[in-house]
Amino acid sequence: MAMITTNDIKNGMTLNLDDGLYTIVDFQHVKPGKGGAFVRTTLKNARTGQVVDRTFRAGEKVDRALLNKREMQFLYRDGADYVFMDTSNYEQLNVGPAALGSASDYLVENAEAILVMYEDEIIDTELPASVELRIAETEPGVQGDRVSGARKPATLETGLTIQVPLFVNPGDRVKVDTRSGDYLTRA
């Protein structure tokens, strides 16, 4: 563990505190007229996503968590697990769906992802901003159905259901925003 002082913290840094791993979302050094200086931080739990505010004394020592980002390629599903291959050394890794969270809704074979690991635990999955997926099931579009902004539900090849425009048909490929799960455009 790398010990740092609160004077050295920066946005995006991950800290290993007593109650878990936290990423610094925002921080502010405060020097009041009376009393000692302190650092007010907004922290996001790396495992649960919960956001908390915490105050540290200036110069207080904290543990910095060193995260390892591994570029991986999704190969296939093995039962409930997802099998990834490290693109640098071709090592394969079985990952449970709980470790991936909502990222599993956007993974198709040969998709690229960055797995953020702390020691041997996966704490986050970084995907591209958008992915191309095939529409597995939706009501077919009807000629003349061109109402501006009208939407219908569609199930993607991964099983995720999103809202798409009326003109999208089964078998079409669409771009989906991985951050919000919104339809972007036909591919």
Same domain flag for 54 and 105: no
CATH number, position 177: 2.40.50.140
How far apart are alpha carbons 79 and 84 in whole angstroms? Answer: 14
Same domain flag for 74 and 94: yes
Q: Tokens standing for 46?
A: 């790396």
Contact 114, 70 (CB under 8 A): yes
Output the pLDDT for position 26.
93
* Final residue in a domain of this structure, among 126, 151, 175: 126
Output the pLDDT for position 35.
86
Same domain flag for 142 and 111: no
Query: For the chain, what is the domain count?
Result: 3
If you search the block for the tokens 């529409």, which residue do you land on?
Answer: 135
Q: What's this model's pTM, rounded to 2 decimal places?
A: 0.76
> 27: buried, middle or exposed (CB in 10 Å: 19+, 13-18, 0-12)?
middle
The per-residue pLDDT for range 64-92, each reduced to its tens digit, is 988 889 999 999 988 889 999 998 898 99
Output the pLDDT for position 148.
65
Output the pLDDT for position 140.
78
What residues make up the domain containing 162?
130-186
Of all residues in the chain, the percent with pLDDT exceeding 70 is 95
Instruction: List C-alpha distances in Å: 127 to 5, 35, 62, 144, 181.
Output: 32, 45, 30, 36, 12
Can you list the pairs that 105-108 forms with residues at least 24 positions away whose Cβ atoms lie under 8 Å? 105/156, 105/158, 105/159, 105/160, 105/181, 106/131, 106/133, 106/158, 106/160, 106/176, 106/178, 107/74, 107/82, 107/158, 108/74, 108/133, 108/157, 108/158
The per-residue pLDDT for range 94-103, each reduced to its tens digit, is 988 888 888 8
If you search the block for the tokens 């790396």, which residue do you land on?
Answer: 46
If you search the block for the tokens 């609160």, which residue do you land on?
Answer: 6
Task: Go through 41-78 and write b for each residue having 16 or more CB atoms within 10 A of its CB, e for each that does not.
Answer: bbbbbbeeeeeeeeebeeeeebeebebeebebebeeee
CATH number, position 41: 2.30.30.30
